[in-house]
């Protein structure tokens, strides 16, 4: 694929905590429009990878190039402004505020919590407020949650809280969205809804990096899969290549673990 389409390039990326190598010499390339899955056992370094790529943790070594620009160890809000967004976690929803309010906050602040208090200063003009409202409703329509817009986040079902957190991430207008276990704790129906939504997000033009333990979901959804072990990349390839990679099967998938 032409390098012009390369959205993310990670080279030799490491994050050490004293002697602990949470991530070590990680490599990954992501082309625009892909869904790339990252799998690996607990403690493999998947979340650390997301934290360092999105600027929430500093790299000990290595480079993160996003959209052709070296963003290594930039602050998260600066990286987010360029369109690299780490998914909002469901447990930090503004539970006592409405669904609409939560999404509006996302529209205003791809920069994190700091500007929350100044939400209405930022949207100081009516025109801006109107624009933000339109965008928020558009996103709620997109995730099929418009009917819940006036409900408090705290009364939503667990599945809808997870979808709301996705909506908040979308409000930040990602070009690349990092989703860390978005289906954890979901029942089969919620899982199906979330997977369809992730595909819909990709089809709308957002490139996605997905950490997910559900192997059926990973193998169904992803164009490519990277396998992490002990902080580094063990292998990557198409779902078919990963399924038949003996080293991966031995290290992680186990016999018959992938029958999707
Ligand atoms: P995963 O998301 O794949 O389960 P993590 O990225 O959370 O893995 O963790 C990778 C490794 O780094 C684990 O061994 C974990 O204990 C270690 N680690 C993560 N964060 C810290 C930290 N702040 N201090 C020390 N060790 C950490
Ligand atoms: Mg993790």
What is the average pLDDT across 82-110?
A: 83
Structure confidence at residue 255 as a pLDDT band (50, 70, 90): very low
Atom 19 of ligand 1, nearest CA residue = 22
Q: Is the pLDDT of residue 99 over 50?
A: yes
Neighbour count for residue 119 (Cβ, 10 Å)? 16
E strand or H helix at 253:
none
* CB-based pocket (< 6 A), ligand 1: 17, 20, 22, 40, 42-48
Q: Render pLDDT for 145-192 as a digit per residue (tens, 0 to 9).
A: 999 999 999 999 999 999 999 999 999 999 999 999 999 989 999 999
Strand, coil or helix: 237: strand
Neighbours of ion ligand 2 (CB under 5 A): 46-47
What single string gives the DSSP state of each residue in 176-213? EEEEESTTTT--HHHHHHHHHHHHHHHHTT-EEEEE-S
Q: Render pLDDT for 192-235 as a digit per residue (tens, 0 to 9).
A: 999 999 999 999 999 999 999 999 999 999 999 999 999 999 99
Q: How far apart are CA 13 and CA 22, in angstroms?
A: 11
- How far, in Å, is the centroid of ligand 2 from the Cα of 66? 22
The model carries a pTM of: 0.90
Residue (of 101, 248, 87) closest to 174 by Cα position: 87
Residue 139 near residue 88 (C-beta atoms within 8 A): no
Ligand nearest to the CA of 230: 1
Q: How far apart are CA 110 and CA 100, in angstroms?
A: 16
- Percentage of the chain lying above the pLDDT 90 cut: 73
- Percentage of the chain lying above the pLDDT 70 cut: 87
């Amino acid at each position: 694929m032409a390098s012009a389409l390369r959205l993310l390039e990670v080279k030799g990326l490491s994050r050490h905590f004293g002697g602990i190598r949470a991530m070590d010499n990680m490599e990954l390339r992501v082309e625009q429009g892909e869904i790339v899955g990252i799998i690996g056992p607990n403690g493999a370094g998947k979340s650390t990878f997301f934290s360092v790529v999105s600027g929430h943790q500093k790299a000990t070594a290595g480079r993160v190039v996003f959209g052709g620009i070296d963003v290594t160890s930039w602050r998260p809000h600066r990286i987010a402004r360029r369109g690299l967004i780490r998914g909002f976690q469901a447990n930090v929803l503004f539970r006592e505020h409405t669904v609409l309010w939560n999404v509006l906050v996302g529209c205003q602040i791809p920069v994190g919590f700091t500007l929350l208090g100044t939400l209405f200063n930022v949207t100081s003009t009516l025109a801006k407020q109107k624009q933000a409202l339109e965008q928020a409703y558009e996103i709620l329509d997109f995730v099929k949650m418009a009917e819940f817009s006036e409900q408090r986040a705290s009364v939503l079902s667990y599945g809808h809280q997870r979808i709301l957190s996705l909506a908040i991430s979308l409000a930040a207008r990602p070009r690349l969205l990092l989703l860390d276990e978005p289906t954890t704790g979901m029942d089969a129906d919620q899982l199906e809804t979330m997977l369809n939504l992730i595909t819909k997000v990709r089809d709308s033009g957002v490139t996605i990096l997905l950490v997910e333990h559900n192997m059926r979901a990973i193998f169904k959804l992803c164009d490519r899969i990277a396998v992490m072990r002990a902080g580094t990349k063990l292998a990557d390839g198409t779902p078919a290549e990963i399924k038949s990679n003996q080293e991966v099967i031995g290290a992680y998938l186990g016999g018959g673990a992938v029958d999707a």
